[in-house]
Chains A and B, each alone.
Chain A
Amino acid sequence: MSFIARRLTFYATAFFLAISFNFLIPRLMPGDPVDALFAGAMGKMDPSQMEAVRAMYGFVDGPIWEQYLSYLVSVVNWDLGPSVLLFPTPVTEVLMIGLPWTVFLAGTSLFLSVLIGILSGTYAASNRGRWFDSIVPPLTMFISAFPYVVSAMVVFFFLGLKLKWFPLSYAYDPELDPAWTWEFISSVIKHSTLPMLSMVVVGISGWLFNMRNALINVLGEDYITMAEAKGLTPWRVMLRYAQRNAMLPVMTAVSMAVGFVLAGSLFTEVVFNYPGLGNLMLKAINARDYPLIQAILLLIVLCMLAANFVADLLLIWLDPRLRGK
């Protein structure tokens, strides 16, 4: 089986298990979530709609496998029932309000921290023992242990509240209408600067160390000595010979990190009142909107699987050994 086919099978199985797990959570937990949900809706829902939610959850009368099948069918049809929070909008529509912002925030900050981390990691590895290498890696390591909440609050307080450099909440100026105008785009950039900064600062360290350590190992290989002996420029040796090989473990780490960044974005969004999935999730938790909470989990799993797949494709591009016979 080729590499891609093997990975795709794995992702399909993992997603299937995630759905099954989502099916099990409400059944393993104490109490009936549909009743709690009905109480939480405070009269916004009539009993017939409650029946619909029951069906969506798979709480139909009958043996457990029948419930399971009905749940699978509703997930595959992307029909996750109505949301309690924004009743009666379907959960899937509510998700689409938050998803783009979270993907934008998490994706861009992941990209930036990987970029900065790889560059500074390369610099640290090629100047080992100098001041940069002795100070910067331990310092970023220290910062990386800050919870996202803390780094967000620090940035929020000093750069937002005290210095008033950047706006403190929302994704764009509420007075503007979303459009592809420079005014709107610059407003989006301005509003995302602080949350992004707080996430990038926390994220750099992992990439710096990954890159530095991988590069140090690669630089000890014989083919590097060979390349240097051939008289290639140090620049060429670093980029074409060392970095490409050192990138492999880094790429694998990127796919693992997507989950962390998405989770971090959940907290950051809450602090900055950014209208992404995190904010939605907090509101859903407070409103006991279980369908929405579960749908967000499912969506994050999907995002992670997609990111893993992209990382796989990148790996194939970087590592010819994976292309098979």
Chain B
Amino acid sequence: MDASVTGKPALPESGAKARPERQKKRFHRIRGFFHGNPPALIGVGLMVLMIVACSLAPVLAPFDPERRVARPHEAPSAEHWLGTTRSGRDIYSQALYGGRTSLAVAFGSGAIAMTIAVLLGMSSGYFGGKVDEWINFFTNVVLVFPQVPLLIVLAAFLGQVGPPVIALLIGLTAWPWGTRIIRAQTMALRYKEFVLAAEVMGERRWRIILVEILPNLISIVGGGFIGVVLYALLSQAGLEFLGLGDPSAVTWGTMLYWAQNNSSLFTGAWWDVFTPATIIAVFGGALALINMSIDQVSNPKLKTGPHLRIWKQLSVKIERQRSQS
């Protein structure tokens, strides 16, 4: 087993040989995703960079995000890299700490929404009949509800909501899109041979759903997850910008809220607004690029630019080999 980890495929035992082979395959697949696909590279790079930076906030942040450490609205300088807020807090530290909360909310609501979407979508697509009719109707009705205004109304009735409640609200309202796509895909797989075979063999229903069908939906669930995370990031920022969030929590959205409330743009303190704004935009942009790349990998017809060129070269090469043989 140790030999396989160090990557010596010379051993004759098949078990030891299979592992590096599999690792190689996996590596190939990952490389294939990024190869000639700058958007994917940029997206994943930016996302990883920001997640790492935010999770290392206690190490990287020079100041306490909630303490007054300088005079109000100081411009960016060597000491305060991104300047200070109206209340004299260090923006760079706030951005790092705020990112932890904002990203936790975004990923948390993504997880909630996708769990609901997988449960509803797969049972709807697998069981069909009355179950499908009801779930589908329910999904369509929720889709007609405008999500963001609904969130605003719910948050307004609850008073100022903290980050966990925002995550819950977004998670509980953002599932219909995922449900629809997962349902359609489950229906497409429902009567494939491998599912019928599993049924004939007497496998239990939950096992067929989870072990036979779900692995085939991974790319859709993954894409949907990233979509919801993106939507959650944006709507959280929107809710907090409107003052519906808890203004004492440090998040990217509340940073925007305070900056707007102190009319930072009018007083010339652009850094106060543009730091959180840029961060949200760049993180959102990274997620969108990843989602686009997933689409293009799962459907090569949609590829853009360099990726397409590689694909074309490949087909030319295959043609040539075929004509030679």
A residues with CB within 8 A of B: 10-11, 13-14, 17-18, 21, 25-26, 29-30, 33, 128-129, 133-135, 137-138, 141-151, 153-154, 156-157, 161, 205, 209, 212-213, 216-217, 220, 256, 259-260, 262-264, 266-267, 270-271, 281-282, 285-286, 290, 293-294, 296-297, 300-301, 304-305, 308
Contact = CB atoms under 8 A, between A and B. Distances in A.
A128 B156 contact: no
Contacts of B260: 153, 271
Contacts of B285: 141-143, 145-146
A158 to B, nearest CB: 10
A308 B256 CA distance: 34
B234 A145 contact: yes
A149 B238 contact: yes
A209 B278 CA distance: 24
23 contacts: A11-B144, A129-B312, A133-B308, A134-B304, A134-B308, A138-B304, A141-B39, A142-B288, A145-B230, A146-B284, A147-B233, A149-B241, A150-B278, A154-B277, A156-B265, A157-B270, A262-B149, A267-B242, A281-B149, A285-B243, A285-B244, A294-B153, A297-B150
Contacts of B153: 25, 293-294, 297
Interface of B: 38-39, 140-141, 143-150, 152-154, 156-158, 230, 233-234, 237-238, 241-244, 256, 260, 265-266, 270, 273-274, 277-278, 280-281, 284-289, 292, 295, 299, 301-302, 304-306, 308-309, 312
B234 A147 contact: yes
A259 B147 contact: yes
A129 B141 contact: no
B230 A134 contact: no
Nearest to A16: B141
A267 to B, nearest CB: 6
A220 B301 CA distance: 10
Contacts, number: 163
A220 B302 CA distance: 12
Contacts of B233: 147
Contacts of A308: 144
B240 to A, nearest CB: 10
A147 B158 contact: no
Contacts of A266: 148-149, 152
B33 to A, nearest CB: 15
Contacts of A135: 305
A116 B75 CA distance: 39
B256 A145 contact: no
